[in-house]
Amino acid sequence: MTLRALPLLLLGLAAPVLFSAPANPPPVRVLLVTGGCCHDYELQAKALMDGAKQFGTFTWTVVNEGGKGTEAKIPLYDNPDWAKPYDVVVHNECFANTADPEYIRKITTAHKAGKPAVVVHCAMHSYRAATVDDWREFLGVTSRRHDHQSAYPVKVVARDHPALRGFPANWVTPRDELYIIEKVWPATTVLATSTSEKDGKDHAVIWTNSYHGTRVFGTTYGHGNVTWHDPVFIALLSRGLLWAAGR
Rounded average pLDDT over 101-121: 98
How is 49-79 classified by DSSP, letter by letter?
Answer: HHHGGGT--EEEEEEE-STTSS----GGGGS
> CA 23 to CA 218: how far, in whole Å?
30
Q: What are phi and psi of 183, to 5 degrees?
A: -150, 135
Would you say residue 8 has pLDDT above 90?
no
Q: In this model, does residue 5 exceed pLDDT 80?
A: no
What is the pTM (predicted TM-score) of this model? 0.90
Give the pLDDT score at 23. 66
Over residues 53-77, mean pLDDT: 97
Taking the domain 26-244, which CATH number applies? 3.40.50.880
Give residue 177's pLDDT: 98
Domain boundaries along the sequence of the chain? 26-244
Name the nearest CA neighbour of 247 among 116, 123, 154. 116
3 state DSSP class of 28: strand
> Mean pLDDT across the stretch 88-104?
98
Q: Which of 27, 49, 88, 51 lies closest to 217 in space, CA to CA?
A: 88
**CA pair distance 103, 78, nearest whole angstrom:** 8
Q: Give residue-wise pLDDT tens across range 159-211.
A: 999 999 999 999 999 999 999 999 999 999 999 999 999 999 999 999 999 99
Give the confidence band of 2 by pLDDT, cuts at 50, 70, 90.
Answer: very low
Rounded to an integer, what distance in angstroms lies between the CA atom of residue 134 and that of residue 116? 16
pLDDT category at 17 given cuts 50, 70, 90 is: very low
